[in-house]
Amino acid sequence: MDEQQKPGQPAPPAKPARRVFSGIQPTGAPHLGNYLGALRWWVDFQDRYDAFYCVVDLHALTVPGDPEELSKSTLTMATLLLACGLDPARCTLFVQSHVHYHADLTWLLECTASMGELSRMTQFKDKAQKGGEESARVGLFAYPVLMAADILLYDTDLVPVGDDQRQHLELTRDLAQRWNSRYGPTFVVPEAAIPPVGGGARVMDLQEPRRKMSKSADSDAGVVYLFDDPKVIERKVKRAVTDLDPPGPGSVRWDPEEKPGVSNLLELLATIRGGKPEDIARAYDGYARLKSDAADAVVSLVRPLQERYRELSQDPGAVQAVLAAGARKAEEVAAATYDRARTAMGLLTA
């Protein structure tokens, strides 16, 4: 009961729960970075906030891909999210293209964003560089605006993401603030919820520990996929690049600048088992035991997810039903925000 409330008085209306929104692309197998940087927070946040989570299939169209694969991988990703612990009774899970307001609001926002600010997005520069900027898709350039639309449609307060999405979140905030001052208050200005340094914000590639673990890495050797066989995971972690200085007292320490490989393994242990990487380091004086403990921790994290995934994938119809119900709920919220936005911009109501 509220402290101000007197006996016999009706309870004041409940304060609306803060809203969380986040998304993941369906293409490419999900990896440990996705899980530690984002998905485990999604699971945690569903009990603390009004949470909306989305498999962002429209974002996947920004780079070439096989149409048949896309629909399969969208269902696979949704099944995996449920296996990770998302519960349709406690959050809204849906597929981006099932709610047309994402594409609709993108156009309105694109008409407020500038070429200059989109040209500064480092993910566009990195991805466009790979295939040549001339042939990069217009959708790849406009990608961050679609992401802003995803977030703003749900009056989102908090966006749980890994550190690599920081710049996109800043752009989303800029677009929302500019819109609100130009057309009147329309959007909630969201905050990024990024894990702490040393807590999974940026899980690094095991072979190239100065690069983040990524679905689009040139080689799989340093990327632990959530679907990897436990034996493969063990091999990948045990072959992780550490450092050249000889093992001995002080060789295992938390120092991402000087010792990125060792620090990454310490961060994996800290994030999975709890604790701070710098404290965990004190228990080790050589690399072999650090690697084998990190491998055990990752396998014990991934094994139950894989078992649950195998069970859930027996019934794809049930997963599709979750997604259909999620899309209906999402659409209700999105429709109201979109309507506010189109009216604010001066579009005539039909």
The rounded Cα 96 to chain-centroid distance in angstroms is 14
Among 19, 20, 38, 141, binds ligand TYM (CB under 6 A): 38
How many residues does the structure list for the chain?
Answer: 350
- The one-letter amino acid code at 6 reads K
| Annotation says 276 is catalytic | no
Q: Counting contacts by CB under 6 A, is residue 159 touching ligand TYM?
A: yes
Among 18, 137, 178, 212, binds ligand TYM (CB under 6 A): 212
Helix (H, G, I), strand (E, B) or coil at 24: strand
Smallest distance, ligand TYM to C-beta of residue 12, A:
32
CA distances from 214 to 20, 32, 33, 204 (A): 24, 9, 7, 8
Give phi and psi for 224, each to the nearest 5: -95, 110
| Contact positions with ligand TYM (CB under 6 A) in 8-37 | 21-25, 33-34, 37
With both helix axes pointing from N to C terminus, report the angle between 122-131 and 166-183 in degrees, rounded to the nearest 10: 120
| Annotation says 238 is catalytic | no
Smallest distance, ligand TYM to C-beta of residue 344, A:
22
Residue closer to ligand TYM, measured from CB, 24 or 280 = 24
Binding pattern for the stretch 241-280 against ligand TYM, x by CB under 6 A and - elsewhere: ----------------------------------------
Q: Counting contacts by CB under 6 A, is residue 326 touching ligand TYM?
A: no
Q: Which residues contact 121 (CB under 8 A, 6 or more apart)?
A: 143, 144, 167, 168, 171
| Annotation says 127 is catalytic | yes
Among 162, 209, 256, 277, binds ligand TYM (CB under 6 A): 162
Stretch that binds ligand TYM, among 103-111, 113-121, 146-154, 245-253 (CB under 6 A): 146-154
Instruction: State how far the Cα of 63 lies from the Cα of 25, in Å rounded to an integer.
Output: 12
**Contact yes or no for 59/96 (Cβ under 8 A):** yes
Instruction: State how far the Cα of 86 lies from the Cα of 24, in Å rounded to an integer.
Output: 13
Active-site residue among 215, 238, 276, 329?
A: 215
Strands (E) located in 206-327: none
Q: Counting contacts by CB under 6 A, is residue 166 touching ligand TYM?
A: no
Instruction: State how far the Cα of 190 lies from the Cα of 169, in Å rounded to an integer.
Output: 8
Instruction: State how far the Cα of 200 lies from the Cα of 210, in Å rounded to an integer.
Output: 15
The CB-nearest residue to ligand TYM is 37
Stretch that binds ligand TYM, among 109-117, 160-168, 176-184, 306-314 (CB under 6 A): 160-168
Total residues binding ligand TYM (CB under 6 A): 24
Residue closer to ligand TYM, measured from CB, 50 or 150 = 150
Name the residues that contact ligand TYM, by CB under 6 A: 21-25, 33-34, 37-38, 56, 59, 147, 150-151, 159, 161-162, 164-165, 200, 202-203, 212-213
- Residues identified as active-site: 127, 212, 215
